[in-house]
Amino acid sequence: MTQQPQLDNRAHVAPELSEERLASVWFNLSSEQRRRSQRTRRGMFVAAGALAAAAAALLVVWRVMPAAPDQWAGTVLRTAKTPMQVALADGSTIKAQPATELQLLSGSKTQVRFALRRGKAAFEVARDKKRDFIVEAGDVRVRVVGTRFSVARAAAGNGVEVVVARGIVEVRDGQGKTLRLSAGQRWSRGVNLALASPAKQPPSPPVPPAPPRVEPPDDGTRGGDAESKPPQRRRSRSRGAPSAAKLFEQATALRRAAKHHAAERAYRRFLARYGGDARAPLVAFELGRLRMDQLGDARGAVRALRRVLRSKRAVLREDALARLVLLYGRLGDKRACGRSKARYVRLYPHGRYAAHLADRCR
Amino acid sequence: MADADLVAQAREGAGWAHEALYRRHASLVFGLAHRLLGGREHEVDDVAQEAFLQAFEKLDKLRDAQSFAKWVGSIAVRCAQRRLRRERLRRRLGLGPAESIDTERLIAPTTPPDVAAELRRLYAAVGAMPVQVRTALILRRVEGMSVDEIAEHMSLSRSTVKRRVARGEAQLAKLIGGAP
């Protein structure tokens, strides 16, 4: 008797769509969208970095208002309970603290202007003498050329605090008085601010790079790769090396063009140069996936994914841990496989991969 | 908010509407790409990304804004086919490894054994089929689409779809030595 094939088997062949995966693709998609629109709209400010892989998990809402003077004017960055870091196309980064609302008022080759509506945001601005980077907090205006600083606004009233970690900024208050602040100085108005920085302490860098972490692998693999080395800060950028955003884009483009080895090298370069960047865990994860799925390099994949586990960010951790279980199984390392599986079950008892991992490591 | 409203907002340039459309239809597009490509995550992600990118770029050409899902689905099918053809060409030129579908990972562990065996046989056979035949067969036997739906997704006539599906079924039967 002829067996009638069962139709609609979608549920049996369904992708595992984690929030991290969706966010990662959205991140690439929106970057690509902007890149393509940038090609056709010259001279436009592009907030290219957009959200990191964790964006959705961070309860962030981006809005791009229509009919704005330029494409991204009006874009609002809102954070809820978790801080968020955004990388701009020129290499500048913005770290918004929880409960912050920051709006891009205008952007051009000569001026970028943000308005801090509430909360606190730290800026690390790439040096560009031809462009003013301005942050407004109420009637206070902070102008900068290339530096690292933070601006905070009180929840109510007109309290504002500016802290400079590096470089020089110019602050103009509501009465039109202007003063220059250099590294280590702070300026504030309104004493009853519920702000994060203690008043009398020297300001800590608002966007601290992730501290270098070198942990010897405990799985018997050698940690000789770039992703196992301590992250170096942006030392090489001054020597003409591509920015973190550029390098990330390059690596993604190579991966998409199925140039797996070249993509792998680009991801490794990223981790070696920008290990403290917000995208580093995502890059390590992509590197692990690439090695595991395309290059058949299980040990290399283990090293990359272990780096994801070491990062402070919880995003991607579940996916990385599940993949580690599969990798150790593939390598025949039952102990490490069992350890990783036990850790997965402990951390994610009802996780997305729990069923898939149930019969592993035996 | 209906798809039509989101499409209208997205046409005005509202980024949040793009993201809302992406999130609403991600499982559909990722699912299609996943099943057509045989579950390779990177390729699936790339195809899904490309499908949404093309959809957003050509939003003005969408006549019925409410049918965004069907539209982006057919774009995803085209992107997946293009990807499969390109890979096949690369393999012919000796630039890529032979296609192997890891059915162990592809098919959910909760699938009933008879259905799992059927799907394993199908995915073991599709690698040797022409891309259009493979696509039509997967849309029929895994997606559960009707001939009309397949025709719409693949931009083919009904009769062509029927021929492709029949050819796929015959090839499948021949390859696995089972009943057609």
pLDDT in tens, A292-325: 877 888 889 999 998 888 876 665 777 888 889 8
Which of B44, B76, B99 is the last residue in one of the domains?
Answer: B99
pLDDT in tens, A266-290: 999 888 888 877 778 888 888 988 8
pLDDT in tens, A175-206: 778 888 877 778 887 633 333 333 333 333 33
CA distance B126 to chain A (A): 15
Chain A neighbors of B119, CB-CB under 8 A: 9, 12-13
Domain count for chain B: 2
Judgement on whether residues B24 and B94 belong to the same structural domain of the protein: yes
Judgement on whether residues B12 and B27 belong to the same structural domain of the protein: yes
Is residue A260 within 8 Å of A297, Cβ to Cβ? no
Which of B76, B99, B122 is the last residue in one of the domains?
Answer: B99
Judgement on whether residues B4 and B91 belong to the same structural domain of the protein: yes
Greater model confidence, B99 or B180: B99
Candidate from B18, B110, B143 with C-beta closest to A10: B143
Q: Mean pLDDT over residues B93-116, rounded?
A: 82
Q: Residue A303's closest CA among A285, A280, A319, A315? A: A285
Judgement on whether residues B71 and B86 belong to the same structural domain of the protein: yes
Count CA within 13 A, CB hemisphere, residue A156: 1
Query: Which two tokens mark A112?
Result: 């970028």
CA distance B55 to chain A (A): 11
Chain A neighbors of B40, CB-CB under 8 A: 293
Question: Distance between CA atoms of A6 and B119, rounded to whole angstroms?
Answer: 10
Which of B99, B122, B147 is the last residue in one of the domains?
Answer: B99
Judgement on whether residues B50 and B132 belong to the same structural domain of the protein: no
Chain B neighbors of A61, CB-CB under 8 A: 16
CA angle, residues A336, A337, A339, in degrees to nearest 5: 60
User: Quick one: DSSP state of residue B143?
Assistant: S
Check whether A353 has a pLDDT greater than 70.
yes
CATH topology of domain A226-357: 1.25.40
Shortest CA distance from A14: residue in chain B: B31
Judgement on whether residues B17 and B89 belong to the same structural domain of the protein: yes
Judgement on whether residues B8 and B95 belong to the same structural domain of the protein: yes
Question: Distance between CA atoms of A150 and A148, rounded to whole angstroms?
Answer: 7
Judgement on whether residues B46 and B63 belong to the same structural domain of the protein: yes
Q: What is the mean pLDDT of chain A?
A: 70
Residue A292's pLDDT is what?
A: 85
Check whether A76 has a pLDDT greater than 80.
no
Residue A56 one-letter amino acid: A
Q: Count A/B contacts: CB-CB distance under 8 Å.
A: 123
Chain B neighbors of A21, CB-CB under 8 A: 41, 45
Question: Distance between CA atoms of A243 and A312, rounded to whole angstroms?
Answer: 23
Is residue B29 within 8 Å of B76, Cβ to Cβ? yes
Q: Residue A272's closest CA among A229, A305, A223? A: A229
Is residue A178 within 8 Å of A172, Cβ to Cβ? yes
Q: What CATH code is carried by the domain that includes residue B141?
A: 1.10.10.10
Check whether B106 has a pLDDT greater than 80.
yes
What is the extent of the structural domain holding B161?
A: 101-180
Residue spans per domain, chain A: 16-189, 226-357
Residue A170 — very low, low, confident or very high, per pLDDT cuts 50/70/90? Answer: confident
Class at the top of the CATH hierarchy for domain A16-189: mainly beta
Q: CB-based contacts of B138: which residues, under 8 Å, 6+ apart?
A: B35, B36, B122, B126
Shortest CA distance from B87: residue in chain A: A258
Q: Which of A26, A27, A29, A62 is the best mutation test for B, with the most CBs of B within 10 A?
A: A29
CA distance B48 to chain A (A): 8
**Among A23-32, A345-354, B60-69, whose mean pLDDT is lowest?**
A345-354
Check whether B105 has a pLDDT greater than 70.
yes
Check whether B28 has a pLDDT greater than 90.
yes
- Determine whether the interchain pair B31/A28 forms a contact, defined as Cβ–Cβ distance below 8 Å: no
Report chain A's terminal Cα–Cα distance, integer Å: 38
Judgement on whether residues B61 and B143 belong to the same structural domain of the protein: no
